[in-house]
Amino acid sequence: MMAVTYDDIKLWLSTETLKVKFMKKDGTVRDMLCTLRPDLLPPLAPNTLAGEPTIKSNPESIAVWDLEQKGWRSFRIDSILGVEVRLPKDDEWTIYKRHYDFPGYAG
């Protein structure tokens, strides 16, 4: 199995929509439809300069745009149980399940 890194997930998020399954701090499991695709993110706040980070980068967690809740959320890399990547195909969305070596993956 292939180990997934922070950079792998950030790259996928920058070009695709992901369904990330992860364990929250309280022990519950959550599925989140999220992305970092610029065309799906909200507009920048009027006093925010493009290209300037508004939060510090943390290699242990990733901040993403939650497409269902319409807000910024984050998850820890070591809490990921699985990822599904949604890719357009012939004007339809097809879900491709990718199995990788996630720390919490038990399947």
> Does the pLDDT value for residue 96 go beyond 50?
no
17 within 8 A of 37, measured Cβ to Cβ: yes
E strand map for 24-79: 29-35, 61-66, 71-76
Distance, in Å, from the CA atom of 107 to the CA atom of 104, rounded to the nearest integer, reads 9
Q: What is the mean pLDDT of the chain?
A: 77
Is pTM beyond 0.85 here?
no
Place of tokens 């992901």: 18
**pLDDT confidence of 32, banded at 50, 70, 90?**
very high
> Does the pLDDT value for residue 101 go beyond 60?
no
> Does the pLDDT value for residue 9 go beyond 70?
yes
**pLDDT confidence of 37, banded at 50, 70, 90?**
very high
